């Protein structure tokens, strides 16, 4: 059976000198893997038609037996060439591609996630300049998969003016409730940082994440709590996130 869909390239790997295995996130079938035989030959019709982060239109033969489908046609729709020239944006895009590889089961259609992946890749240059854009995007992704944090604060902060976040409960808790929670599930967040997360979670557009610049001291607690929340609730290590943010910090130092 021949299927047609739009798809973003998440990963490519060689399986011979002239052929590639490509993992895509598609608009209609979720994550799929295809073989593209002969794609590296000089006269191949596929040469230059796909690469990491490209959005393409695919025609492929569905194969249920081994779930490795065969490409019939591939046409680039959005190559996102800026990611070839901006290494910081490329680092963010690489993290997003890895994230979708990890959270998406094969052939599991998830409404809205394809558009969200494209949004993240298109905003990668902004996220490289404004860290708040990445945190805003991560909050949108968590909401899309049904794991939105409950960041609305309780009645009072702790004695030092910070908020306690319980990862296992998915949100802020009273300081007197912390004794019932394992220490490894708790993290602290300054009041100003929690207020920012609440505002970004409620914002539908990226504008609110770009209105104010964040100092390194403001970025660190936001980066840490979002990373901890993602890893806990998505149940996967996110080394690609750490590497991308470490690169950005090193460049800014």
Residue 98 lies in a domain: no
Q: What is the pLDDT of residue 252?
A: 56
Residue 53 and residue 167 in one domain:
no
Give me the sign of the Cα torsion angle 13, 72, 60, 113: positive
Residue 54 lies in a domain: yes
Domain ends where: 80, 110, 141?
80
Q: What is the pLDDT of residue 141?
A: 95
Q: What is the pLDDT of residue 180?
A: 47
The CATH number of whichever domain residue 56 belongs to comes to 2.40.50.140
Residue 135 and residue 247 in one domain:
yes
Residue 142 and residue 53 in one domain:
no
Residue 11 lies in a domain: yes
Alpha-carbon separation of residue 211 from 126, 163, 208 (angstroms): 12, 24, 5
Residue 77 sits at the vertex; the CA angle it makes with 35 and 14, to the nearest 5 degrees, is 25
Residue 69 and residue 169 in one domain:
no
Q: What is the pLDDT of residue 227?
A: 93
Q: What is the pLDDT of residue 166?
A: 82
Residue 90 lies in a domain: no
Domain ends where: 18, 46, 80?
80
109 alpha carbon, distance to own chain's centre: 17
Residue 76 and residue 134 in one domain:
no
Residue 173 and residue 233 in one domain:
yes
Residue 199 lies in a domain: yes
Residue 55 and residue 160 in one domain:
no
Residue 138 and residue 76 in one domain:
no
Residue 245 and residue 140 in one domain:
yes
Cβ contacts of 165 within 8 Å, gap of 6 or more: 151, 171, 172, 173, 186, 187, 188, 189, 225, 229
Residue 76 and residue 190 in one domain:
no
DSSP bridge pairs for 186:
166
Residue 143 and residue 48 in one domain:
no
d(CA 242, CA 248): 10
Residue 231 and residue 162 in one domain:
yes
Q: Which domain holds residue 238?
A: 130-252
Show pLDDT as tens, one digit a residue, over the chain (253 residues): 889 999 999 999 998 888 899 999 999 999 999 998 888 888 888 888 999 999 999 999 888 776 788 889 999 999 999 999 999 999 999 999 999 999 998 888 888 999 999 999 999 999 999 999 999 999 999 999 999 988 776 555 556 667 778 888 777 655 545 444 555 678 888 888 888 888 899 999 988 788 777 888 889 999 999 999 999 999 999 999 999 999 888 865 4
Domain ends where: 39, 56, 80?
80
Indicate the pTM of the whole model.
0.89
Name the domain count of the chain.
2
Alpha-carbon separation of residue 177 from 158, 183, 194, 195, 209 (angstroms): 11, 12, 18, 21, 31
Residue 109 lies in a domain: no
Q: What is the pLDDT of residue 158?
A: 59
Residue 137 lies in a domain: yes
Residue 225 lies in a domain: yes
């Amino acid at each position: 059976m021949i299927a047609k869909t739009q798809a973003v390239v998440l990963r490519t790997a060689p399986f011979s000198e002239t052929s590639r295995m490509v993992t895509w996130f598609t608009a209609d079938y979720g994550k799929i893997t295809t073989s593209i035989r002969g794609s590296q030959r000089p006269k191949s019709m596929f040469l230059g038609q796909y690469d990491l982060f490209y959005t393409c239109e695919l025609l492929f033969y569905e194969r249920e037996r081994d779930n490795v489908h065969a490409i019939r046609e591939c046409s680039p729709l959005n190559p996102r060439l800026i990611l070839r020239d901006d290494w910081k944006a490329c680092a963010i895009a690489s993290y997003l591609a890895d994230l979708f590889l990890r959270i998406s089961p094969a052939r599991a259609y998830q409404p809205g996630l394809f558009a969200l992946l494209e949004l993240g890749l298109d905003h990668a240059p902004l996220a490289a300049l404004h860290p708040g854009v990445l945190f805003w995007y991560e909050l949108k992704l968590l909401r899309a998969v049904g794991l939105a944090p409950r960041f609305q604060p309780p009645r009072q902060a702790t004695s030092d003016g910070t908020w306690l976040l319980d990862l296992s409960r998915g949100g802020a808790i009273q300081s007197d409730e912390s004794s019932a929670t394992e220490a490894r599930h708790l993290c602290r967040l300054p009041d100003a940082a929690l207020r920012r997360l609440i505002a970004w979670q409620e914002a539908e557009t990226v504008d609110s994440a770009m209105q104010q610049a964040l100092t390194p001291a403001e970025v660190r607690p936001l980066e840490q709590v979002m990373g901890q929340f993602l890893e806990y609730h998505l149940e996967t290590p996110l080394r690609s996130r750490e590497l991308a943010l470490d690169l950005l910090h090193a460049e800014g130092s």
